A and B are shown apart, each in its own frame.
Chain A
Amino acid sequence: MPYLPTPQAYLEQSALLLQAYPDAVRYSQRRPNPSVPSSTAHQAPKPPHSTPPLFLPHLPSRSSTLHPNTPHPPATQPHKPTHQLTSRPGAQKITTKYTFAHATRSSSSATNPQTTQPDPAPQPQTPQTPEKPRIATLTLKTFHPESGICLKYRTNKGAEVGRLISSLGKLAAGADVAGLGLGLPGSGGGSSGVGMGAADVEMGDAPPPASSGVAGAVEGGNEAASSAGAGAGAGGKSGKGKKKGGKGKR
């Protein structure tokens, strides 16, 4: 599952997701024929990927290649699919996970030999002080069950916690992208999608001029790095598009 590179991108995409699927109560009430308001969905960069699973109920038969994993019942069933047993069918859920990763070096084995050996006496103390042995990870995940869209962001910086949580509050209040007050309004989302194409083009041309001079090498390296990052983001997005289908169908 790909992660978005910056908190701004994550929050912006989450806000766009919220906008693209106005999950008001009205939506769940007029549920019988699930259809996306396509005009709004196409304004956001991500939601168009999600449309295939939503159209699946209209497929004529089970012969579709996409079908084996779909939980969507045939179009004749008006009631909700089982995977949407949430408090609100169309509502997106935001999960913040604060976790300590499993230690590669086993801390449990380090505590065992303390009875026989005098040396590891300080070692049992290390698990009690959190910073020293491990650094926790904060993972934010926005999941929209209707479309299967899942946005994630992962960080280990304590400085971001306050900002992220308050932004989640703004998301919960239904703020749009502008309302989030992100520092870099054009950094993520749609504009980065535009930038990706340009960066990909540059990446093909960057290596040859890079060999001509030191300055060129530095510039080329920067360009390559930036475009590689953008490319990774693009790859993540396309991959996400596929996974979205899988999630929605499961």
Chain B
Amino acid sequence: MPAHLNHEEFFTSLTTLLTTTSQKARGSVYLTQKPWINADSPEQQQPAILIRATDGNTSAPNPKKAKTDKKTTAATTKKVKLSTVVSPEELEAFYARYAEVCKAGMTGLKKRDRSKKKTAKGKAGGKVQKA
């Protein structure tokens, strides 16, 4: 596991990860958060938050497919793993930025403005454009 990134690097890498995933329209991005004990100060009241981001790829071969065809195992791409630790004081600022990055990066989701206009003006036009 690589060392934790600082927030700036994390956001840069996360933007790249989300953008590439959205452009490919394929694959996933997993973002996890959980409390994280710092070994140095386990007694602190509010824990820091560990944020991880990954593309969910695995370098390990699929045990089901590995026996039948070896091409898939050789073709597996490298897993993208990002992580950062947010201290309680920084939580608010971090999450404001985090939400911005996610909003900007997750372009594969439905757009609010377009769908509303389309449904209001006429579903057929919207569907033609979409499909």
Contacts and interface: CB of A to CB of B under 8 A. Distances in A.
Please say whether chains A and B are actual partners in one complex. yes
B10 to A, nearest CB: 14
A195 B62 CA distance: 46
Chain B, interface residues (CB within 8 Å), range: 35 or more
A168 interface: yes
A96 interface: yes
B112 to A, nearest CB: 4
Contacts of B47: 24-25, 88, 91
B71 interface: no
Nearest to B28: A99
Interface string B19-60: 001111111111111111100001111110110000000000
A25 B46 CA distance: 9
Interface stretch (B73-81, B88-96, B117-125): B88-96
A135 interface: yes
A158 B109 contact: yes
Chain A, interface residues (CB within 8 Å), range: 35 or more
B130 A172 contact: no
B61 interface: no
A190 B28 CA distance: 33
A113 interface: no
A29 B131 CA distance: 56
A25 B111 CA distance: 41
A133 B26 CA distance: 10
Contacts of A168: 33, 95
Contacts of B49: 172
A100 to B, nearest CB: 5
Contacts of A166: 95-96, 99
B25 A130 contact: yes
A177 to B, nearest CB: 18
B36 A172 contact: no
A88 B106 CA distance: 29
Interface of B is mostly: mixed
B103 interface: yes
A25 B48 CA distance: 12
B23 A162 contact: no
A94 B106 contact: no
Interface string A154-180: 011111011101101110111000000
A37 to B, nearest CB: 17
B110 A158 contact: yes
29 contacts: A25-B43, A88-B37, A91-B34, A94-B33, A96-B30, A98-B21, A98-B30, A100-B28, A127-B26, A129-B25, A130-B24, A130-B108, A131-B108, A131-B130, A132-B130, A138-B109, A155-B109, A157-B109, A157-B112, A159-B111, A161-B106, A162-B102, A165-B95, A166-B95, A169-B91, A169-B98, A172-B33, A172-B91, A173-B91
Interface of A: 23-25, 86-88, 91-100, 127-138, 155-159, 161-163, 165-166, 168-170, 172-174
Interface of B: 18, 21-37, 42-47, 49-50, 86, 88, 91-92, 94-96, 98-100, 102-103, 106-112, 130-131
